[in-house]
């Protein structure tokens, strides 16, 4: 089993490191991290570099602090670890804080010469690697988990793109009157990946109704009713046992419906020996958008059609709302993403009891 080295500053990213280590432990990946070094006669930087040399791949996380400076080299320990990993030709995965979206205490933001050194290091890293940006410790954990999947499947290039570019499907605006949304087609140039494309649809119903194989594009419910919205992969569905993960955004009108939860492992749990990691954004459901993503790190995958994920909602007040998907990715372990041909949303109409 390949061993990872976890590199970052500590004070500003302690929670991020904790989440990252939990992800590695859950996936059974051995790792080295400063929390495990203990006490030594040698200098901290020498201990860190010695532990780094025992590892097979490097996980580098950069926030808004440059870190403790090694007096001999006049660079931070974090930069020293990064440079040694590159000297060794180590497979590297780099994660940079999203400076526009991530909240950070002023005390954890570097200033002066150290800020210039950090900026220079980030610029170099972005030029040498395809990096991922995180806006929370939860998103960082998800990004690391998805990258570990590519490493396990033998896609460990020296810094190649760890994530497929999202296929963006913008939701259609919902008119004041109840209507069934037209399918949102994906441009042809997004479909040429050599793998059969699939179509998705959302089927909605009152939770008191029995589940049906028929697609219900509209649902009429009363205030206070529980509503179920199923994300369906339509026949013939995924072929060649290809599906190993997905990501998409649910979009709805938060003034009409309240999201109560997501069952996001329905289809992927069918895989034999499935080892599932899921991520749901902590964006308040009042925003009208939630990101859901799941990846299977087991040895198998799934194909076919049916319910991919299920959204549980409650009708809050009178009105009509569409439920749409955007930023859809159907992930494949050893190939480009499965192309999505079209996505059909649904409408929920809330009336008085």
Structure tokens belonging to residue 219: 């649902």
Structural domains of the chain, with CATH? 4-152 (3.40.50.10140), 184-351 (2.60.40.680)
Asked if residue 167 has pLDDT above 50, the reply is no
- The pTM of the full predicted model, rounded to 2 decimals, is 0.56
Closest CA relative to residue 156, chosen from 89, 95, 96, 97: 89
The angle at the Cα of 178, spanning 173 to 181, to the nearest 5 degrees, equals 50
53-70 pLDDT, tens digit per residue, is: 999 999 999 999 999 998
* Dist CA 23 CA 84 (whole Å): 24
Q: What percent of the chain has pLDDT over 90?
A: 45
pLDDT band at 295 (very low <50, low <70, confident <90, very high): confident
- Provide the pLDDT for residue 176: 40
Asked if residue 1 has pLDDT above 90, the reply is no
Q: What percent of the chain has pLDDT over 70?
A: 81
174-204 pLDDT, tens digit per residue, is: 344 444 455 544 444 343 344 578 999 999 9
Instruction: Tell me, letter by letter, the H, E, C secondary structure of 268-309.
Output: HHHCCCCCEEEEECCCCHHHCEEEEEEEECCCCCEEEEEEEE
- Provide the pLDDT for residue 269: 87
* Dist CA 256 CA 217 (whole Å): 17
Mean pLDDT of the residues in the chain: 81
217-232 pLDDT, tens digit per residue, is: 999 999 999 999 999 9
The separation between CA 122 and the C-alpha centre of its own chain, rounded to angstroms, equals 22
- Provide the pLDDT for residue 66: 93
Taking residues 256-265, report their average pLDDT.
Answer: 89
Q: With b meaning 16 or more CB within 10 Å and e meaning fewer, what string describes 67-97?
A: bebbeeeebbbbbbbbebbbeeebbbbbbbb
**Structure-model confidence comparison of residues 29 and 5, the more confident one:** 5
């Amino acid at each position: 089993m390949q061993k990872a080295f976890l590199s970052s500053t500590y004070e500003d990213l302690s929670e991020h490191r904790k989440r990252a280590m939990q992800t590695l432990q859950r996936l059974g990946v051995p790792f080295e991290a400063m929390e495990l070094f203990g006490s030594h006669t040698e200098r901290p930087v020498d201990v860190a570099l010695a532990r780094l040399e025992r590892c097979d791949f490097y996980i580098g996380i950069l926030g808004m602090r440059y870190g403790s400076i090694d007096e001999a080299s006049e660079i931070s320990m974090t930069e020293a670890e990064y440079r040694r990993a590159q000297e060794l030709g180590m497979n590297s995965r780099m994660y940079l804080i999203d400076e526009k979206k991530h909240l950070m205490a002023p005390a954890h933001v570097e200033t002066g010469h150290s800020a210039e050194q950090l900026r220079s290091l980030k610029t170099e890293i972005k030029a040498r690697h395809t990096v991922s940006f995180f806006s929370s410790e939860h998103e960082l954990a998800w990004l690391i988990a998805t990258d570990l999947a590519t490493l396990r499947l033998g896609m460990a290039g020296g810094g190649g793109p760890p994530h497929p570019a999202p296929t963006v499907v913008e939701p259609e605006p919902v008119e004041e009157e109840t209507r069934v949304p037209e399918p949102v087609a994906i441009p042809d140039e997004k479909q040429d990946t050599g793998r059969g494309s699939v179509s998705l649809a959302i089927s909605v119903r009152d939770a008191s109704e029995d589940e049906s194989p028929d697609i219900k594009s509209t649902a009429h419910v009363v205030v206070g009713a529980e509503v179920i919205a199923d994300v369906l992969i339509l026949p013939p569905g995924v072929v060649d046992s290809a599906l190993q993960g997905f990501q998409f955004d649910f979009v709805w009108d938060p003034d009409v419906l309240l999201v109560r939860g997501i069952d996001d492992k329905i289809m992927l749990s069918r895989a034999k020996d499935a080892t599932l990691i899921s991520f749901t954004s902590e964006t308040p459901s009042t925003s009208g958008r939630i990101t859901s993503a799941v990846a299977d790190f087991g040895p198998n995958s799934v194909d076919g059609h049916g319910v991919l994920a299920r959204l549980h909602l409650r009708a809050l007040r009178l009105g009509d709302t569409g439920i749409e998907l955007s930023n859809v990715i159907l992930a494949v372990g050893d190939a480009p993403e499965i192309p999505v041909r079209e996505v059909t949303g649904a409408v929920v109409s809330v009336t008085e009891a």
